[in-house]
C-alpha cells in the first residue's frame, strides 16, 4: 500500500479529470493536498471536500497558468506555499487540449498551449526546486504527459507538440535535479474518460473504434491514473528517475489494431 503520510502536494489543474484523480489518490495515500483551479468552481470545491474526507489537510488556490509565464508561475507558487508551506510534491497537470486544425492554427493559440502545457510546469518545477534545495528537501515532481507525446493525433498539432516537449522535459529535468535529490517522472495517459473526452458518450461508433485501437479493449475513467501517480511520488519508487509511464491499455505498443472478424 502506498503511504504518503507526512508529505504535501500541489496538484495543478485538479478540478476534474486526471488532476482530480491524482489529487484524490494522493489524499487517500495520506498526503496533504493543495488543489488548483478556479476557487469558486463547484467542481474544484468537490475535489477539495473529497480530499478532506480522507482525513488529510486540503486547501484550494486559483491562478491562470496560461498567461505571461513569469507572473503566473510566481502567483501560483506563492499561493501554494502560503496555503501549505511544507509542499514537497509537485504535480504539473494543468493543460489544454482543444484546438483548431493545423491549417487554422494561430500563433496566439499555439503559444497559449505551449505556455500552459510546457512553460508553466518547467518554471514551477524551477521555483519549487530552488526552495527544496535551500531547505535540503528531497522533492518529488510528476508531469502529466500523454500518449500524444509519442503518437500524433489528427487536428492536435499544438497539443502533440507540447506533450512531446513534456516527455523530453521529464528526462532533462531528471538529469538536472536527480543529483540534488529531487526526483522527476511523468505519466502518459492514453484515452481516458474526462470532461475533455466526453464526446465519446455521444458517439458510440467512435468509442468502439477507440476500444479496437486499445489492446485491452478498455476506455477507463481517469481514476486509473491516480494510483500510478501516487506510486511514482512515493518512496516505493525512490530509484525511478526520468521515466514516462504510459497508462494506455497497451495502445502505444502496436502498429495497428486487429480488426474485428
Q: Which residues are catalytic?
A: 159
197: closest CA among 214, 231, 220?
Answer: 220
Sign for the CA dihedral angle at 109, 226, 189, 141 comes to: positive
Residue 116: closest CA among 99, 100, 93: 93
| Nearest Cα to Cα of residue 62 among 86, 31, 94, 88 | 94
Distance, C-alpha 79 to centroid of its chain: 19
- CB atoms closer than 10 angstroms to residue 149: 25
Q: Could you tell me which of 169, 171, 193 has the C-alpha nearest to residue 249?
A: 193
Cβ–Cβ contacts within 10 Å for residue 110, how many?
Answer: 17
User: CA–CA separation, 226 vs 212, rounded Å?
Assistant: 24
| Sign (positive or negative) of CA dihedral 7, 74, 244, 221 | positive
N-to-C CA span, the chain: 41
Amino acid at each position: 500500500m502506498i503511504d504518503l503520510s507526512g508529505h504535501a502536494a500541489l496538484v495543478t489543474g485538479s478540478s476534474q479529470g486526471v488532476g482530480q484523480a491524482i489529487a484524490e489518490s494522493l489524499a487517500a495515500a495520506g498526503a496533504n493536498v493543495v488543489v488548483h483551479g478556479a476557487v469558486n468552481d463547484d467542481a474544484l470545491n468537490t475535489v477539495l471536500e473529497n480530499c478532506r474526507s480522507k482525513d488529510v489537510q486540503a486547501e484550494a488556490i486559483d491562478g491562470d497558468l496560461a498567461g505571461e509565464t513569469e507572473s503566473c508561475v510566481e502567483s501560483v507558487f506563492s499561493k501554494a506555499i502560503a496555503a501549505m508551506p511544507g509542499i514537497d510534491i509537485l504535480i504539473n497537470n494543468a493543460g489544454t487540449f482543444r484546438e483548431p486544425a493545423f491549417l487554422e492554427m494561430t500563433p496566439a493559440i499555439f503559444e497559449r498551449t505551449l505556455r500552459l502545457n510546457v512553460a508553466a510546469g518547467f518554471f514551477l518545477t524551477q521555483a519549487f526546486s530552488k526552495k527544496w534545495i535551500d531547505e535540503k528537501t528531497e522533492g518529488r515532481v510528476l508531469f502529466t504527459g500523454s500518449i500524444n507525446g509519442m503518437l500524433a493525433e489528427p487536428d492536435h498539432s499544438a497539443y502533440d507538440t507540447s506533450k512531446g516537449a513534456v516527455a523530453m522535459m521529464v528526462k532533462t529535468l531528471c538529469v538536472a535535479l536527480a543529483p540534488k535529490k529531487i526526483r522527476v517522472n511523468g505519466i502518459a495517459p492514453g484515452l481516458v474518460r474526462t470532461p475533455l473526452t466526453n464526446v465519446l458518450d455521444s458517439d458510440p461508433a467512435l468509442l468502439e473504434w477507440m476500444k479496437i485501437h486499445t489492446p485491452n479493449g478498455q476506455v477507463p475513467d481517469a481514476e486509473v491514473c491516480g494510483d500510478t501517480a501516487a506510486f511514482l511520488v512515493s518512496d516505493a519508487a525512490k530509484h525511478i528517475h526520468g521515466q514516462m509511464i504510459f497508462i494506455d491499455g497497451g495502445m502505444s505498443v502496436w502498429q495497428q489494431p486487429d480488426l474485428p472478424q
